[in-house]
Structure 1
Amino acid sequence: MMQNMDSNLSNAKNKFGNSRAVTDQNVLIVGGGHVGLSFALLLAHHGIASTLLEKMGYPTISPNDDSNRSHYLDSRNTALSRRTVQIYQEIGLWDELQSHACRIDAVQISEQGSFGRAQLNKDEEKVESFGQVMENAWLGRKLLLAAQQEPLIALIDHANVTAVAQQNDMVTLSFSYYGKEEHVQQLQASVLVACDGRDSTVRQLLNIGTTTYDYQQTAIVGVVETDKPHEHVAIERFSPAGPLAVLPLTDPDGDGNDEYQTGYRRSVVWVCPTGEETKYLEDDAHFLQTLQQAFGERAGTFVTAGRRGAYPLTRVLTDKQVDGRCVVMGNAAHTLHPVAGQGFNLCMRDAHVLAQMMSTQVLKGADIGDTQLLKRYEKARQTDQKRVIRFCDAVVHGFTHPNPAIKLARNVALVAFDKLPNIKPLIANYAMGLKS
């Protein structure tokens, strides 16, 4: 679907008047997943028009569609940090999202068969929650609806990007619709932002290299039910079979932030050595038994498992995130290990900073695609990105190393983290995305 940008821009100016600085400059976004849609909505919040191209076809949905969970044991989920929640609040979208979000009040960290354990509690840290867990299907549905209703966003799906060319004052993108490859079309804009995933087509067309690392692990992702309520507790558990995260989820037809909800659904991310995933995917009983052995009774009895997906884990870091008037963002810029749940939240902080910097340019009457501006964005995000990347890798390698001395050290570190003053607030703020 493609909307006419000139018409959209005129409608936006009529709608918003002087309430926000609507500009004639616009942005091309490639990749209409959660990051691409969120970035387009952030830009629109600042009065900046965008055209978003997605290679897949968008589903037909409307605001009146049934919002009940149709596959409540068959969905992927995302842990949204407090900072990510704040960003969605800023653009007025959180009220639409929160009914399918389940807050995290506490985080428990432990290793199977070891003495080290630690816990973060929202009351001790004086926060409303550490974040929220949301079904990807619901998040995507609401982001798409918001984008469809926003005059400053034009959506094009079934789009196959074929070339990128840069000029002094603009960037030109060539694409065709799938099935009509012979009919190449072109779009021009002040800046191009690639949010098209780990195997980014735009990144390859720009000849931007990457540094990759194969963890030789596969993430098994799904939803389970237990006979014990989750009580809004997230559990990070490290076992000989691999690291495991179990997060609280909403009831099938309840509000995840209702203090009276029962809460027996949990999102599971189980990381196993690549090659062992089949037995966890095909055999529900074996999967549930493995979870039970790893957890003991702290989560109750695992009674039901939904359909699961397997995702090979590879760290992909782009060699640079800015090339002329082009920016690489999201998983196209940094694909991380999911064990600490930081990947999407890091992408959202990137998107938020770039949208703000472009807004400042608009207010000054300056070029939003100016290479020096984009380079400043790249530099501004380095500290946060590097810290998160180091943290994720430290957790992965530190808790999977079999050396007894390293095992002892990490358990001592867990005890120290739990007992020493001033450490918890620092780590909690980083995990919530409040320190960048």
Structure 2
Amino acid sequence: MTDQQVLIVGGGHVGLSFALLLAHHGIASTLLEKNSYPEIGPENDRSRSHYLDSRNTALSRRTVQIYQEIGLWSELQSHACRIDAVQISEQGSFGKAQLNKKDERVESFGQVMENAWLGRKLLLAAQNEPLITIIDNAEVVTIGQQSDSVTLTFSYYNGSEDEQQLQGSVLVACDGRDSNIRQLLDIGISTYDYQQTAIVGVVETSMPHEHTAIERFSPAGPLAVLPLTDPDGDGNDDYQKGHRRSVVWVCPTGEEQQYLEDDVHFLATLQQAFGERAGKFTAAGRRGAYPLTRVLAKSQVDGRCVIMGNAAHTLHPVAGQGFNLCMRDAHVLAQMMSTQVMKGADIGDISLLKRYAKSRQTDQKRVIRFCDAVVHGFTHPNPAIKLARNVALVAFDKLPNIKPLVATYAMGLKS
């Protein structure tokens, strides 16, 4: 039996980030991940993903600030591309709007980064942090809660019958949409199937992106095209406004295969929906398909256990808010736990965890409502609704005081 302050189950981007946030506050944790981590060292950490073969994440301004706070942003930013402007429009309609960093007086609206690079850097930082113990290839099989602790039993994911136990003051589950911990705790979920599938990949365009993110709505679904760094340098350099772009193309479920298998068809479809805003779509890398279902845990706290990340709320990617919401959750909980440690109080106190869950309700509910409103509002075929949303886009673009408020929320700076 090993005593630990915090047990973290799930070692993806959220779990690793939470462990690093805790370490920043001097709190030790043990992180269990069911998959095997790759061997990573400084000597082989410099390589990029393939030029047109990567998934990417849009990091909000607040998420960037969180990584700056724990001293990790200097390691991340070489592969991050600023978003200086955001354009929103609908295919075949008059409505359009634009946000510009100069008008909103911000350094940027956020950054776009390759998932592979973010994952490597988070893992390397965690491996080098003495306060973080990593156990990969581990599957949790039972959870027991006592008045002053929580105990989990795990076995190695390769089928080994050798079971081990860990004990801590609190367990935080960051193990994804289909969370094993959530199921072991018998926490129910509410789900909504959007009947859409996201096609995610990287494309190249004839025109440079100039640090502009474009959200385009079509009858088939929303299309997000985000700027990426150049293959051999820092995309934030004024002289490197490159041609690589991240694409999230949402189509009705059942139509995804044609976009995965046929590059020519995929590029032609993007071109038709997107127009000439990026010039010509000239090349596409390997793509992944991800069915879109909203999954919300009916409770995010059970005794000394916290449900976090996609295990707590898996959202539609239309506004790029999912990961950033998870990071704000992680940041708040780490700060609350740090305050407990400084007071000499119980880090897994049930009343503390309930206060955490209550404190995050407003931000979470607002983001969930916003994502659903955008999805349903821009896919509804009713002509009256289409007219209303285009009038709303024009109003958003022209009326004073609306843009700063929306930009502030989008950047995660007000929760």
Report if the CA contact (8 A) 2:204-2:281 is conserved.
yes
Give the one of 85, 91, 95 matched to 2:64: 85
User: Which residue in the other structure is 2:19 paired with?
Assistant: 40
Q: d(CA) in 2 for partners of 1:168 and 1:200?
A: 24
**Letter aligned with residue 94 of structure 2:** F
User: Between the two proteins, what is the percent identity of the paired residues?
Assistant: 85
Task: Write the distance in 2 (CA, Å) between the matches of 1:318 and 1:126.
Answer: 37
User: What is the deviation of 1:5?
Assistant: 7.4
| Equivalence map 1:261-272=2 (5 Å) | 261-272=240-251
- AA matched with 1:216: Q
For residues 58 and 66 of structure 1, what CA distance do their matches in structure 2 show?
14
Q: 2:203 aligns with which of 217, 224, 236?
A: 224
Preserved contact between residue 5 and residue 152 of structure 1 (Cα < 8 Å): no
Provide the rounded CA distance (Å) in 2 between the counterparts of 1:220 and 1:372.
Answer: 42
- SS, match of residue 247 in structure 2: strand
Q: Are 1:377 and 2:352 matched, yes or no? A: no
Give the whole-Å Cα distance in 2 for the aligned partners of 1:78 and 1:118.
23
Q: Does residue 204 in structure 1 map to residue 186 in structure 2?
A: no
- Distance in 1 separating the partners of 2:81 and 2:388: 34
Q: Work out the number of aligned pairs and report it.
A: 415
Stretches of 4+ aligned residues off by more than 3 angstroms? none
Taking structure 1 as the reference length, the TM-score comes to 0.94
User: 1:198-347 residue pairs with structure 2 within 5 A?
Assistant: 198-347=177-326
Match of 1:126 in 2: 105
- Whole-angstrom CA distance in 2 between matches of 1:70 and 1:81: 22
Q: Secondary structure of 1:188's match? A: strand
Cα deviation for residue 250 of structure 1 reads 0.2
Alpha carbons 2:61, 2:412 under 8 Å: kept? yes
**Which one of the candidate residues 172, 184, 195 is aligned to 1:193?**
172
For the residues of structure 1 that align with 2:166 and 2:277, how far apart are their CA atoms? 55
1:94 to 73, 78, 103: 73
The Cα of 1:180 is off from its aligned counterpart by: 4.0
Residue number in structure 1 paired with 2:335: 356
Please state how far the C-alpha of 1:66 moved relative to its aligned partner: 4.8
Q: Deviations over 1:44-73 (max 9, x none)?
A: 000100000000000001012151324121
1:108 and 1:132 map into 2 onto residues whose CA distance is 15
In 2, distance between residues paired with 1:80 and 1:323? 29
Cα distance in structure 2, aligned partners of 1:235 and 1:146: 32
- Structure 2 unaligned segments of length 5 or more: list them: none
Counterpart contact for 1:68–1:253, Cα < 8 Å? no
Give the RMSD, CA atoms, in angstroms.
1.0
CA contact (8 A) 1:81 1:345 kept: yes
- TM-score normalised according to structure 2 size: 0.99
Deviations 1:112-139 (A, max 9, x none): 0000000000000000000000000000
**SS in structure 2 of the partner of residue 357 of structure 1:** helix
Give me the whole-angstrom Cα distance separating, in 2, the residues matched to 1:434 and 1:179.
Answer: 43
Q: Which amino acid aligns with 1:376?
A: R
Q: Which moved more, 1:331-340 or 1:63-72?
A: 63-72
Q: Distance in 1 between matches of 2:238 and 2:356?
A: 40
Q: 2:137 aligns with which of 144, 153, 158?
A: 158
Q: Is the CA contact (8 Å cut-off) linking 2:9 and 2:31 kept in structure 1? A: yes
